Structure 1
Amino acid sequence: MAEFKTLEILQKSPNSSQVFHLRLNNPSHRNALSLDFFTEFSKALSSLDQNPKVRAIVLSANGVHFCSGIDIKALNSLTSLSSIDHGRERERLRREIKRLQGAISALELCRKPIIAAIHGGCIGGGIDLVSACDVRYCTKDAFFSVKEVDLAITADLGTLQRLPRIVGYGNAVELALTGRRFSGSEAKEMGLVSSVFESKEAMDEAVEAIAEGIAAKSPLAVVGAKEVLLRSRDMNVEQGLDYVATWNSAMLLSDDLTETVAAQVQKRKPVFAKL
């Protein structure tokens, strides 16, 4: 498996589990998002997406905090001018911002479902990360902040686009304009996370079980659910129904469906081919 400076990929049960863990691994810097991270994250997700053994992915972090936001050094590197031609310099900056956006959007482009398990601080760029995941859980002591406004930045990696769809427009506006810190329980009330756990150990155990449950289902159905949900987000109901009709006209008559019916008749668990 590939070696990374800012990440690690592992399986808790290498011989049986179809759940893979992608962990932020820069704990000495509170998992701040460095330029290395943005290069490595897309590559890591692509490798997991293409690995036929992977059925579900858990995104978590080593150390005390999930993510403290973008690394200030990375920010300085992006904004330092190297040309007297302002037009070309700003075109370069736009390309860099789009590259960083692409690393976060890789969470949605990955076919496999991604579950965020959040502990400690989830600040700035951390919100960008988790809002692009499919499902989110956190610990009781987790805290969150859309912090960019306090750094004189307009958040530009996806929070302002994705968060309103998760917590509602009014809540997102208030969080983005104030930059205030909010708790795991408030995140649950707003719908940012699905459940709050008393400890990291309890969260890790529960999330592993949830991920294993998803991984045991038809991979075609799971991939289809993620794809259709993401596409339908930007469509009206009629367009969404048309899209899923087209999707299922291609995917419905699969061996997974035959196996599911056979397993129910034979009162056993279904066994699905790799994807």
Structure 2
Amino acid sequence: MDPTQYTGDFHRASEPSTGVLLLEFNRQVAILPRPRADRTSRAPVNAFHDAQVLWQEMHRIVDDVSNDPDVRCIVLSSALENAFTAGLDVTKSELSSGKTFLDPARRATSLRAHLLKFQAAITSLSRARQPVVCALFGSSVGLAIDIASACDIRVCASNVKFGIFEVNVGLAADIGTLQRFPKIIGNDSKARELAMIGRPFGAKEAEEIGFVSEVAQGGRQEVIELALQKAKMIASRSPIAVIGTKEVMNHSRDHSVDDGLQYVATWNMAMLQSEDTPKAMGSALKRTPVTFDPIAKAKL
């Protein structure tokens, strides 16, 4: 694995252990408050903005990583100390001004295309071949919920501040939260409460409702260490088995139980012929360690 190929203008990448890629948002730009003489600029919070460069770069990197046979698991977090991401930078959003040079129909068509591209960027995390472990801490609001909901596993630090805040700025969350979050927590009433009121919630409540699987006491360093522990264990398993598990669980999430059973039967009629199956079984019986070959890189 060469992590440098996944480092961009707004992301940094590293390989903390074999097969694990740590990908961190790294937008070192602060959101400026509304102009007022008595207010100063705020610390960087990895805000996404309408220029699209940050989320388009993430989409490209995740798609490239998905085809890297040396990457067995991705840990997604932030290089900043105070925030995973504070979501959309409303100070740079065209929606905040209400100004447009297009007639309503053309404006609507353009906005829909923009939203679909944005959705595809976040969905790339769900569609990545490898599992994605999301390590959340500090300010993790708005778009952070969209991003985390598209990941496979979510852990957070005790200092995290969550919030589905889109309703507070006059819009319905449109990049994935309203579709994924209710399914994740399995409580439609609670999901609607959080999305319709737009109140903050912390690590304790997030764990109680099932949004995160574990809480690390502390902040950025502690939660990334926790995420890396889980990623290292995933990376040690058969890549065929791990990829298959993600694929089948994603399919089952959006289909009936019967459809899911039919799908996994079709999937495993091929994948059970992998050399990984007897190797893993033999290792379990003998209680000896085992290594698995990487999956070949797809040739386009």
- TM-score under structure 1 normalisation? 0.94
Aligned residues: 271
Q: Distance in 1 between matches of 2:28 and 2:197?
A: 27
* Equivalent residue for 1:251, pick from 246, 254, 271: 271
Are residue 170 (structure 1) and residue 174 (structure 2) matched? no
Aligned ranges 1:179-194 → 2 under 5 Å:
179-194=198-213
After superposition, where does 1:32-181 map in structure 2 within 5 Å? 32-34=47-49, 35-63=52-80, 64-76=82-94, 80-84=99-103, 86-167=104-185, 168-181=187-200
State percent identity of aligned pairs: 34
**1:8-46 per-position Cα deviation (integer Å, ceiling 9, x unaligned):** 111124xxx110011111144301113111210111101
Q: Which amino acid aligns with 1:8?
A: R
Contact 2:77/2:224 (CA < 8 Å) preserved in 1? no
Residue 262 of structure 1 corresponds to: 282
Cα distance, 1:19–1:2 mapped onto 2, change above 3 Å: closer
Q: Which digits, 9 at most, give the CA deviation of each residue in 1:138-173, with x for residues without a partner? A: 111101000000100111000000000012211110
Structure 2 gaps, min length 5: 31-44, 296-300
1:59-118 superposed Cα distances (whole Å, 9 cap, x missing partner): 00021111101122553179752323x222211110110000000000111010000001
**Residues 1:239 and 2:256 aligned together:** no
SS at match of 1:248: helix
Contact 2:19 2:71 in 1 (8 A): yes
SS in 1 for 2:290: coil
Please state how far the C-alpha of 1:203 moved relative to its aligned partner.
Answer: 2.2
After TM superposition, the score normalised by the length of structure 2 is: 0.86
- More helix by proportion, 1 or 2? 1
Q: CA RMSD in A?
A: 1.6
Say if 2:73 and 2:234, in contact at 8 Å, map to a contact too: yes
Q: SS in structure 2 opposite 1:59?
A: strand
How far the C-alpha of 1:199 sits from its partner, in A, is 1.4
Give, as a single letter, the amino acid of the residue that structure 2 aligns with 1:177: M
Higher mean C-alpha displacement, 39-48 vs 256-265? 256-265
Task: Give the counterpart of 2:235 among 215, 240, 245.
Answer: 215
